[in-house]
Copies of this chain bind each other. A is one copy, B any other.
Amino acid sequence: MAEQKSYHMSPEDFRRHGREVIDWIADYHENVARYPVLSRARPGEIGDSLGDEVPEDGEDFTAILQDATERILPGMTHWQSPGFHAYFPSNASGPAILGELLSAGLGVQGMLWSTGPACTEVETRVLDMLADLLGLPEAYRSTGSGGGVIQDSASSAVLCALIAARERDSGLRTNRAGCDGTQVAYCSTQAHSSLEKAMGVAGLGRANLRQIAVNERFALDPARLAAQIKADRAGGLRPIFACATLGTTSSNAIDPIAAIGRICRDEGLWFHVDAAMSGTAAICPEHRHLHDGIEYSDSYCFNPHKWMFTNFDCSCFWVADRAALIGALSILPEYLMNEATRSGAVFDYRDWQVPLGRRFRALKLWFVLRYYGVEGLRHHIRRHIELARRLVGWIEADHHFEIVAPTPLNLVCFRHLGSDELNERIMNEINGGGKIFLTHTRLNGRFVLRLCVGQSHTEAEHVERAWELIVDAAQGIRERGM
Contact = CB atoms under 8 A, between A and B. Distances in A.
A59 B196 CA distance: 42
A398 interface: no
Contacts of A29: 11, 14, 105
Contacts of A249: 333, 335
A383 B153 contact: no
Given A22-B14, A98-B61, A202 B205 contact: no
Contact of A118 (B59, B76, B203, B373): B76
Contacts of A18: 18-19, 22-23, 25-26, 98, 101
B118 A46 contact: yes
Contacts of A356: 153-155, 193-194, 197
Contacts of A359: 311-313
B200 A328 contact: yes
A52 interface: yes
A430 to B, nearest CB: 14
A418 interface: no
- A interface, size bucket: 35 or more
A421 interface: no
A395 interface: no
A21 interface: yes
Nearest to A115: B77
Given A97-B105, A102-B25, A372-B58, A117 B46 contact: yes
Contacts of A100: 100-101, 104
Contacts of A366: 68
Contact of A200 (B175, B181, B343): B175
Interface in A77-98: 77-80, 86-87, 90-98
A30 interface: yes
A234 interface: no
Interface stretch (A213-221, A286-294, A400-408, A438-446): A438-446
Given A95-B61, A155-B354, A181 B177 contact: yes
A14 B93 CA distance: 9
Contact of A25 (B105, B121, B124): B105
A443 B112 CA distance: 22
B371 A9 contact: yes
A201 to B, nearest CB: 6
A9 B94 contact: yes
Interface stretch (A36-44, A224-232, A254-262, A474-482): A36-44
A76 to B, nearest CB: 6
A117 B39 contact: yes
Interface stretch (A126-134, A267-275, A317-325, A465-473): A126-134
A57 interface: yes
A13 interface: yes
Nearest to A142: B47
Given A98-B18, A153-B356, A153-B357, A54 B104 contact: no
Contacts of A56: 373-375
A410 interface: no
Contact of A44 (B19, B30, B108, B121): B121
Given A19-B19, A26-B14, A58 B371 contact: yes
A266 interface: no
A65 B473 CA distance: 47
B30 A11 contact: yes
A193 B72 contact: no
Interface string A357-382: 10100010011011111111101100
Given A156-B354, A250-B335, 5 more contacts: A47-B124, A92-B107, A177-B207, A305-B357, A312-B357
3 closest Cβ pairs, A-B complex: A203-B203, A9-B94, A75-B118
19 contacts: A7-B379, A18-B98, A43-B117, A43-B345, A50-B126, A54-B132, A54-B373, A55-B374, A59-B373, A75-B116, A76-B117, A92-B107, A100-B101, A178-B179, A180-B180, A192-B333, A201-B329, A312-B357, A338-B439
